[in-house]
Structure 1
């Protein structure tokens, strides 16, 4: 019987790193754990898979392009190529453009990637390599910030082995350790976790789940995870998921790299680790050093949170004087060690090169402290590190020059500042930003473009980069940082949502959109785009595309229209409410159905995982204000003109203070109930413990609230015989069910919500089964059917009705009595039209109020 080591014999990978070639040595120890059916793989089984894949790759050395992913297939292919001596060009598997770009640039001999169905495909483009491959070449990785660019880092087998050994040494990785793959395989930091743990016979918890996913922590606990890797943004996610309260009994340490973590955050997590029995390793590295160059010993994290620490075992630093950074023990940080890359590749012919780099100029300015620690104090003018991505401003300047712009670039905090000479007066900052973001992989918000009459210069005539950096704190060329000439979509969002800070990375939800603006936004988008993705409200604007102008426009009558169910229900409900009050027909239940829709919309627009707790509260209060202020204004207007209402109505307190024997004073019960419920929901979510619970249990929390609501729904405590119970307390279970419906991601959860609705809604109105049926049917439709077939004119009418529904409800009490003696149907039409008109007036007033607040907010921000 052939062993895996026998299968690999004769392969050209004699130089392959130990972690790839000697897997079978760890026998039946667990190598991989996944959440799939085939949940566990021993080292012996992994070695057999690697050997079989190595045999498929063959004995003739070839360039293998691998579309990386945190899957067993991708990992096996990576290890097999290394073990068999085939250089690997590792690219992000979730970036089709990068795969296409690098395939075209380097013409790999073999391409391995998942097809659209998720099945892994090995495309052998030729039997023998078309390239001259240096014997030491093992791995090609994109430099930070250049994913898809032809510029690659050339790493050797010795680089990979040396870095894996260093990391395993200073982290004291043990066979009992179990590391979760929280970072992508194609990212050098994520790859180093895999290499170093396989080197020591430890276990990998192979997953592509984010730490923000509940399923990640279930898997981590079940697998008895001991460690995971984090970049700065990971800690923001950990804060939002309530990490401090998680019970992780096996967690031994957390590593951090991928950009500077603020010292106060280092101190905070170091102290949290100390209390809970785990360590925090702050690390420093670059792709050009395979992964790591320095680490901060955990016992120093709390006292020296600003330091990157000491060189890794086998490596060393020295400081080279820099003219812009004078001072003792300060200069550009230069690293030497066996993990320094062979050099760069920018063309397939470079794959034949041996070592061209012997030490690594990091571009960081550092100082050496008296106790021997290194601390980064700035950046050389040659580089900028923006959001963890290493950017060469000179390359950006050259890029812009090729596009006809004269520019200077410099890094300022987490922003790339681009100063452009507006020589002709028609320079488009939006085009400049798109060119830069497209090349560097930065989000739009991280690129500040400034149009200047002329570029800043020193008296010597040299560029004044210090002046360029200072522009980073100045306003950009157009209001809100939005470049002129950007897509009409950004302008549409800005107009409807009254925001001046719209960028291509904004989304409807991130901009504070709510149910009142959702309808107008969705209908405008459908008209603009010709289609509407189901998740458009959470997607960045840049991902929403118009039809290609080269494609023929569809025939006017051939385009299929759909109407979102939530919008259709809001439009239908308000018509049913007003028509039933006028008695032109009798189909009641619309108001209670709207409460369920309100809960559904709260969850969709405000309870997204990416929104921070304060942001959720702020957006929630803004939505409440858009309900309360127009309501108070209208009630104040009609109060002197009728005896139907009193002061308690004006204060929206009638359902609490009464009088409870007045039929007319009850007109605004729905406004009051909705306001109370929203205030309670926002107050609840403002609590840190509830916010964390919602993120961990997004479906279970509203279902629990709905269950609690059944106490008042069925009056289980017998309170109605003793005290008056406001409507909000009786009906909030419907709101919670709507909330749960929006968070029901699986069929099982939808069935559970449906069962809860079908079980609890009937009987709410004794003797009115049809009313109960209307509410139940509407709720089930909302839960199971996302879109309804429709017509263009119907969409327009439904959209106007839905977006004005609150205001129609508010005003119809005073409008229809003026006309219903003449014609009930005419009274219905007049009530709808008047409410639509009041909605337009109220929305304009709210926008003006928002505009008055904005200058004060900006002035406040300037003083912070």
Structure 2
């Protein structure tokens, strides 16, 4: 069963001495030249013997581990590479594969434990390295890699990264992880240097070592970027940094753009990469010049590799298949498999992908990251993306019996459970959410999904509420939510958002809660009812401040409706406010109406639309009966389409009519599966495309068929884009679009300036200070803005001759009263129905 060492070896390991006295390894304790490294590798190789044996190495990021790895590779001994900090993994694999030799490091020296003089295995001549698959450290299932695999992938990586002998790589990842090992191989191949350390990027000593050794690169997984945010990496002075590589999982497009932009400003490149252990390390990379424009792509195949996409029955996207010289020999699950040769010729990645028009590949999901629960196919990756859109780091795992989600930080599991159940269409009982201080991760930084699945009940959501269910503040919150959202049976775990609140009910609820509780925290809309009530169990002294901050959209709604009414009455003359409101409508549509899956979202949009249409039709019907100013077309909100072209009193409600047309059109558009997918995939680009279409009417290149109403859909789309502008470059782009398209829209420069100022405030200022004494009035006017717009047409003609100021006040008060009546009506109707049913 023995084999003499006359077979293949890893050339990058056996040719170390050819690089002479150049620095091979630098540590905090000194440097090692290539010649010195080669001598140590050769010495350990002699200790391993002349007979080919199976070696297990527990490796850390230290010189002894590096020497052990290179000695096995240079001498031709197949190596099982294990993390030094996982003794359970060593025990498991030793029991499963019975290695002939175990290497480890202790007290600065290599420890060689010879378990038998020869070998107890049949070892295939091509077998070089055995690595655990991603997420399965300690599992008997190993990836079998050949010498050609390791050499080819190192050459490929060194080629597209442009590694030279002058590069120095910091070891930010474990050597036992294929990504970390690929950094070592590719740099040793080119005679470059390694700065060996196990320090974390959050340790100041890491960056001191980086600067003192003149490091030129480091490797990062998505979790690394979270750590970089904590240490202020963007402000660091790293003059020798040439590039940063990223792999080990999907990095969000916004972060890709941000770090690509940071690199462009600071003189280094960001290489987004894609790989799997089964492909030795890397399969694709995104050229840095494309990171800003295609941040969601994995890029193009590495030199020598190729992709194709095979259809998957029942799924929209196909499976990504890779071929190249770095594809593994196959898997090993028993010692007998070590004698096998190549059993696979290409790698079925398990990832669902598409190819873009410019030839780049994008991974859109994971074929194996699907579970089928109560007959519903659930994409576990989509679960994580839903929470990521809310700014929550999460990991999801599951079986056909149920879904388990871990969320990082102090979040409310019950609330998130409700949101997820609604968003993916699962019964609430089939979903567990656990709040954890930190997500479980492997040594590589990847999420540990088995640990997520192992989270045990009882869940946090089963714990009793800390709120006193009988407390008066809690009852006030419930009653307000019942009235403003037209719901019953609200529990302590519900929140305004989870109950389907939108932009109209948001302001309505806030003003009543302010009155009932005396003060509202900024996060009230996502705070559970029980917690919100409990915050006001005990009276707390409040500091009086001259100003209070309100969301910009609320201030704009209040100011705009005041200016609209005042201008119509002649108390003031300030035009453009209605067009600001149209942009605010688009902003709030994107903010409140686009979350969740297509059909639940559609139901939410229809319900929100009804809250605009019903009070409008009721009031206009009343106005039709008591005056001769309006027509039946006004009642059904069709005057803008079928009414007379000349502007008459029948045109009073043009804003509401056009707003309804826009909302109906957008609801219908997003009900289409392709449009829904496009909006989800391109949240910023989607409204820009709509904006471009709307500009056809703005510049009179297309006649919309609404004769006497200025086409203003493009302003709605512009507000939508404002809501989706996530970073400074996107906000800058929207600012430029606004500055270019608004001038020339009116004949009045002051009117154009009003619209432009409103949009820029909405874009750049999340909140605006208002005098504390006017806070409640501002919220009230914003809440009742739609109703004030309706009512003022009937109120002010009765008082304008007496006093324009009085006409303004009366219009605002009457509109607010109508809003209060509309808010109360659903509750009264519901109670009346219950009494009738109970009487029967």
2:784 is the alignment partner of 1:705: no
The offset of 1:197, in angstroms, is 3.8
2:44 is the alignment partner of 1:44: no
Q: Do the aligned partners of 1:493 and 1:508 also contact (CA within 8 Å) in 2?
A: no
- Which deviates more from structure 2 when the two are superposed, residues 642-651 or residues 524-533? 524-533
Quick one: distance in 2 between partners of 1:517 and 1:244?
40
Quick one: distance in 2 between partners of 1:832 and 1:45?
72
SS at match of 1:643: coil
User: Normalising by the residue count of structure 1, what TM-score does the alignment of the two structures yield?
Assistant: 0.51
Q: Do the aligned partners of 1:33 and 1:203 also contact (CA within 8 Å) in 2?
A: no
The offset of 1:814, in angstroms, is 0.6
Gap change, CA 1:222 and 1:840, over 3 Å in 2 = farther
User: Normalising by the residue count of structure 2, what TM-score does the alignment of the two structures yield?
Assistant: 0.52
2:626 is the alignment partner of 1:641: yes
Per the alignment, residue 117 of structure 1 pairs with: 232
Per the alignment, residue 497 of structure 1 pairs with: 485
SS at match of 2:589: helix
Q: Residue deviations 1:465-488, cap 9 Å, x none? A: xxxxxxxxxxxx99xxx9957994
Per the alignment, residue 655 of structure 1 pairs with: 640
366, 374, 387: which one pairs with 2:404?
A: 387
Q: Do the aligned partners of 1:29 and 1:201 also contact (CA within 8 Å) in 2?
A: no
SS at match of 1:586: coil
Q: Residue deviations 1:666-719, cap 9 Å, x none? A: 1111110110111111111111111122122222222222222222222225x5
Gap change, CA 1:605 and 1:724, over 3 Å in 2 = closer
Gap change, CA 1:253 and 1:762, over 3 Å in 2 = closer
Quick one: distance in 1 between partners of 2:364 and 2:791?
61
2:500 is the alignment partner of 1:512: yes
SS at match of 2:652: helix
Per the alignment, residue 842 of structure 1 pairs with: 822
Quick one: distance in 2 between partners of 1:725 and 1:502?
47
Quick one: distance in 1 between partners of 2:229 and 2:714?
45
The offset of 1:218, in angstroms, is 2.3
Q: Residue deviations 1:816-835, cap 9 Å, x none? A: 11122221111111110110
Q: Do the aligned partners of 2:298 and 2:362 also contact (CA within 8 Å) in 1?
A: no
Gap change, CA 1:839 and 1:255, over 3 Å in 2 = closer
Per the alignment, residue 353 of structure 1 pairs with: none
- Which deviates more from structure 2 when the two are superposed, residues 572-581 or residues 548-557? 548-557
Task: Write out aligned runs for 1:677-716 (5 A).
Answer: 677-716=662-701
Q: Do the aligned partners of 1:595 and 1:674 also contact (CA within 8 Å) in 2?
A: yes
Task: Write out aligned runs for 1:165-180 (5 A).
Answer: none
The offset of 1:27, in angstroms, is 4.0
Per the alignment, residue 593 of structure 1 pairs with: 580
The offset of 1:727, in angstroms, is 2.5
The offset of 1:523, in angstroms, is 5.5
761, 765, 770: which one pairs with 2:742?
A: 761
SS at match of 2:712: helix
Task: Write out aligned runs for 1:713-752 (5 A).
Answer: 713-717=698-702, 719=703, 725=707, 727=709, 730-752=711-733
SS at match of 1:217: coil
Q: Which 5+ residue runs of structure 1 have no aligned equivalent?
A: 58-65, 77-89, 96-111, 122-177, 185-193, 208-212, 229-234, 270-307, 309-363, 365-375, 379-384, 390-410, 418-437, 450-476, 856-864
Quick one: distance in 2 between partners of 1:17 and 1:678?
61
Quick one: distance in 1 between partners of 2:743 and 2:511?
34
Gap change, CA 1:529 and 1:706, over 3 Å in 2 = farther
Q: Residue deviations 1:8-49, cap 9 Å, x none? A: 454599799527698997644439999xx9999744367899
763, 767, 781: which one pairs with 1:787?
A: 767
Q: Do the aligned partners of 2:583 and 2:720 also contact (CA within 8 Å) in 1?
A: yes
Quick one: distance in 2 between partners of 1:804 and 1:442?
48
Per the alignment, residue 295 of structure 1 pairs with: none
Gap change, CA 1:765 and 1:689, over 3 Å in 2 = same
Gap change, CA 1:120 and 1:627, over 3 Å in 2 = closer
The offset of 1:203, in angstroms, is 1.6
Q: Do the aligned partners of 1:804 and 1:839 also contact (CA within 8 Å) in 2?
A: yes
SS at match of 2:296: helix
SS at match of 2:605: helix
SS at match of 1:681: helix
Q: Do the aligned partners of 2:789 and 2:815 also contact (CA within 8 Å) in 1?
A: yes
546, 554, 558: which one pairs with 1:567?
A: 554
Q: Do the aligned partners of 1:415 and 1:448 also contact (CA within 8 Å) in 2?
A: no
Per the alignment, residue 831 of structure 1 pairs with: 811
Quick one: distance in 2 between partners of 1:703 and 1:443?
46
The offset of 1:52, in angstroms, is 3.9
Per the alignment, residue 576 of structure 1 pairs with: 563
Per the alignment, residue 157 of structure 2 pairs with: 30
Gap change, CA 1:826 and 1:227, over 3 Å in 2 = farther
Quick one: distance in 1 between partners of 2:192 and 2:479?
53
Q: Do the aligned partners of 2:354 and 2:364 also contact (CA within 8 Å) in 1?
A: no
Q: Do the aligned partners of 2:495 and 2:529 also contact (CA within 8 Å) in 1?
A: no
Quick one: distance in 2 between partners of 1:695 and 1:624?
21
Structure with larger Rg: 2
Quick one: distance in 1 between partners of 2:430 and 2:723?
39
The offset of 1:792, in angstroms, is 2.5
Gap change, CA 1:731 and 1:851, over 3 Å in 2 = farther
Quick one: distance in 2 between partners of 1:732 and 1:549?
43
The offset of 1:615, in angstroms, is 2.6
Gap change, CA 1:413 and 1:564, over 3 Å in 2 = closer
Q: Do the aligned partners of 1:598 and 1:735 also contact (CA within 8 Å) in 2?
A: yes
Q: Do the aligned partners of 1:649 and 1:668 also contact (CA within 8 Å) in 2?
A: yes
Gap change, CA 1:31 and 1:590, over 3 Å in 2 = same
Task: Write out aligned runs for 1:666-685 (5 A).
Answer: 666-685=651-670
Q: CA RMSD in A?
A: 5.9
SS at match of 1:602: helix
The offset of 1:516, in angstroms, is 0.8
The offset of 1:246, in angstroms, is 6.5
Quick one: distance in 2 between partners of 1:116 and 1:620?
42
Gap change, CA 1:667 and 1:540, over 3 Å in 2 = same
Q: Residue deviations 1:97-137, cap 9 Å, x none? A: xxxxxxxxxxxxxxx9984536999xxxxxxxxxxxxxxxx
Q: Residue deviations 1:282-328, cap 9 Å, x none? A: xxxxxxxxxxxxxxxxxxxxxxxxxx9xxxxxxxxxxxxxxxxxxxx
Q: Which 5+ residue runs of structure 2 have no aligned equivalent?
A: 1-20, 26-31, 38-61, 70-78, 84-103, 105-128, 130-146, 162-166, 171-181, 211-220, 237-245, 253-272, 287-291, 309-314, 320-350, 381-396, 407-427, 435-451, 836-840
Gap change, CA 1:637 and 1:557, over 3 Å in 2 = same
Q: Do the aligned partners of 1:812 and 1:831 also contact (CA within 8 Å) in 2?
A: yes
Quick one: distance in 2 between partners of 1:258 and 1:751?
37
Gap change, CA 1:823 and 1:118, over 3 Å in 2 = same
Q: How many residues align?
A: 545
The offset of 1:637, in angstroms, is 1.5
Q: Do the aligned partners of 2:585 and 2:716 also contact (CA within 8 Å) in 1?
A: yes
592, 595, 600: which one pairs with 1:605?
A: 592
Q: Residue deviations 1:619-668, cap 9 Å, x none? A: 22112100110011111122121110111111111111113335111111
- Which deviates more from structure 2 when the two are superposed, residues 621-630 or residues 253-262? 253-262
